[in-house]
């Protein structure tokens, strides 16, 4: 599950409290940076942008750097395209895992390849936003660039109750994208269940959290729990979004002995997971010092020491997956055919 918060909303202090409280209940966070004009967001998120914009960009990035989680920055490309290198560098310094531009595919399709390349060069992952009106050919292009995840917004704007067939939309995009598929934009409880049944890897929760926050952090946590339960989700992801070995990630190829390594961004407590699966499973994350067992011979073991944690971009974690010849290490996102259970993800 991905939890969305606007940086600094409703207040800087409450934002940080909310981020800390929500972190154990989601797999990643999407943090909104107020743009000049949020044309693909609904009224609730727009109001949060208006309130947070008075804080100032420098202070917003300081607040974001205090959020210790896997996190993706959301802002409009139209706001930063003239200073994209500077913007991406600021995300890297604030500890972000990736970047998401809701207007990239819609308004800047010709820039997709260049922007995705710059994001990767900055040491970040690409989360690419697509909509029901995105042509199949463009979806495939976005899929190739999305080394983080593909975000399907099922409605024209966040929090706007337009009738849609979530299940049919997810099936269409699932057939076009082999990587991580996250679904959002005003999902109701029954639509969350339908999205996961149809093949979504996770859902994003935003408007409902922002509506709950002024009533207290506990209210927001309860919203996240209800959405997770609607998807039948229990526990957390096996690995960071878009990491090697996740669905569509860069793991060892089928037929290889299979050894893949990836980082766990966000600066969490050091840990390591080693897995030996019957093929597609490979390594999976477990809590620090815990042991986890999975079907089909998958096994994770958390080690209680932190002597050799090294990762790209300075992150202190690393994981390895091993699979026997013919299986390929860390292919597939805890392949649902093997694990036999759909879990609510972040997005």
| Catalytic residue numbers, as ranges | 30, 41
- Considering only CA atoms, which of 210, 242, 233, 232 is closest in space to residue 223? 210
**Greatest extent of the chain over all pairs of C-alpha atoms, in Å:** 57
DSSP 78: H
333, two tokens: 């996102």
- Considering only CA atoms, which of 138, 202, 128, 125 is closest in space to residue 176? 138
Is residue 74 within a helix (H) or strand (E), and if so which, with residue range? strand 71-74
**Quick one: angle between helices 189-198 and 217-230, nearest 10?**
40
Q: How many CA atoms lie within 13 A of 83 on its CB side?
A: 7
The distance of Cα 167 from the centroid of its chain, to the nearest Å, equals 20
Q: What is the DSSP string of 206-227?
A: -HHHHHHGGG-HHHHHHHHHHH
Alpha-carbon distance 204 to 132, whole Å? 16
CA distances 320 to 245, 260, 330, Å, are 10, 5, 8
345, two tokens: 């993800």
């Amino acid at each position: 599950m991905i939890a969305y918060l606007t940086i600094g909303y409703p207040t800087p202090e409450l934002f940080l409290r909310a981020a800390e409280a929500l972190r154990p209940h989601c797999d990643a966070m999407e943090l909104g940076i107020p743009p000049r004009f949020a044309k693909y967001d609904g009224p609730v998120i727009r109001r949060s942008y208006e309130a947070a914009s008075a804080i100032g960009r420098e202070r917003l990035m300081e607040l974001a750097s205090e959020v210790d989680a896997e996190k993706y920055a959301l802002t409009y490309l139209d706001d930063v395209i003239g200073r994209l290198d500077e913007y991406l560098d600021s995300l890297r310094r604030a500890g972000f895992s990736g970047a998401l531009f809701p207007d990239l595919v819609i308004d800047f399709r010709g820039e997709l390849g260049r922007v995705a390349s710059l994001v990767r060069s900055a040491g970040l992952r690409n989360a690419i936003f697509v909509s029901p009106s995105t042509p199949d050919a463009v979806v495939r292009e976005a899929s190739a660039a999305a080394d983080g995840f593909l975000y399907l917004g099922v409605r024209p704007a966040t929090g706007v109750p337009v009738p849609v067939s979530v299940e049919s939309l997810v099936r269409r995009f699932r057939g076009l994208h082999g990587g991580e598929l996250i679904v959002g934009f005003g999902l109701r409880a029954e639509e969350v269940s339908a999205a996961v049944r149809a093949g979504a890897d996770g859902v994003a929760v935003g408007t409902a959290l922002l509506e709950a926050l002024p009533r207290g952090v506990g209210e927001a946590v309860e919203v996240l729990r209800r959405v997770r339960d609607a998807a039948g989700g229990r526990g957390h992801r096996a690995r960071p979004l878009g990491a090697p070995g996740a669905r569509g990630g860069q793991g060892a190829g089928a037929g290889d002995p299979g050894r893949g390594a990836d980082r766990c961004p966000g600066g969490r407590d050091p840990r390591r997971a080693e897995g030996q699966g019957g093929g597609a499973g490979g390594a999976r994350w477990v809590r620090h010092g815990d042991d986890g067992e999975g079907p089909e011979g998958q096994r994770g073991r958390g080690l209680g020491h932190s002597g050799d944690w090294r990762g790209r971009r300075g992150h202190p974690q690393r994981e390895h997956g091993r699979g026997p010849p013919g299986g390929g290490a860390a292919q597939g996102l805890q392949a649902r055919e093997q694990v036999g259970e759909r879990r609510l993800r972040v997005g």
